[in-house]
Copies of this chain bind each other. A is one copy, B any other.
Amino acid sequence: MRDLAPIAKAPSLVDQVCSQLAARLHPSVPPSPSPHSPHTPHSPQSPPPSRLPSERTLASQLGVSRSVLREAIKKLELQGLLEIHQGRGTKIVSQLQKPLTAALSLLVPDPSSRLAQLFEIRLLLEPESARLAALRASPTHLQKLDASLHALRTAPSLEAAIHADLDFHRILADASGNKILLLIIESLADLLAASHGKGFQSMSTARSADMHETILHAIRHRDDSAAETAMQEHLLAARAALGLPPSP
């Protein structure tokens, strides 16, 4: 009868395993080139330990049954931290936007109205994303943006062009420094990509690249206001090209 004040209920076994696994996952992903990097110095050809041991192995390591370990892994997969492939093992990834993407697909099943609502949100978030990027973008970000722009101009296929296009927006959101903003925009990008190739035409690659260049130019010169405006115009043009109605 010692502990009565804290109504802390013991977390379920699955949750405990989840926490342990999550703790083992995070420290491996972040790009922290700390001088340590002491782990796994024995494997000369597995750059990122981006794979999880087999279920049976992990289960016995953690001292739980395979059922529990499986449920924990499934949970982490739903959260976008793992990718399970039958026969191939479980990879460690970092796609936290996946849960949001799934929820939005479920929330607005109709692709057309989903696209319309998507652009309403993009028009709110991305101009600010561009503005913040103009203020905060690092040299690395500028370099990546340039590479993305080049990839868009030289895209060999429509699919590649779409990928490069959305990548530009992702890098921009990353440069904004707001991680929540990044996550939401990444999710919107996922949904956009899923909508393409389903009868939805986008604007020409060349025109899109031009607008990206305008945005990038503004960011290079730290002109946050111009970047914001350019992004807004870009999105308005993209929405119009999709045949979607303007905002009220």
Contact = CB atoms under 8 A, between A and B. Distances in A.
Contacts of A104: 180, 183
Interface in A138-184: 178-181, 183-184
Nearest to A128: B124
A237 B178 CA distance: 21
Interface residues of A, number: 36
A244 interface: no
Contact of A179 (B80, B107, B184): B107
Interface stretch (A37-45, A93-101, A199-207): A93-101
A108 B74 contact: no
B180 A121 contact: yes
A183 B132 contact: no
Contact of A103 (B22, B96, B128): B96
Contacts of A184: 121, 184
Secondary structure class of chain A's binding surface, majority of residues: helix
Interface string A116-134: 0110110011001000100
Which of A100, A102, A120, A178 has the most chain B CB atoms inside 10 A of its CB? A100
A118 B248 contact: no
A118 B180 contact: yes
Nearest to A127: B124
Contacts of A248: 132, 135
B108 A181 contact: no
A33 to B, nearest CB: 21
A70 to B, nearest CB: 8
A180 B67 CA distance: 35
A79 interface: yes
A75 interface: yes
Contacts of A210: none
16 contacts: A75-B78, A78-B78, A79-B99, A79-B103, A80-B103, A97-B103, A99-B99, A100-B103, A104-B183, A114-B180, A117-B178, A118-B180, A120-B181, A121-B125, A121-B184, A135-B248
Given A121-B178, A121-B184, A124-B128, 11 more contacts: A67-B67, A74-B74, A103-B183, A104-B180, A104-B183, A107-B183, A117-B179, A121-B181, A124-B125, A132-B248, A184-B184
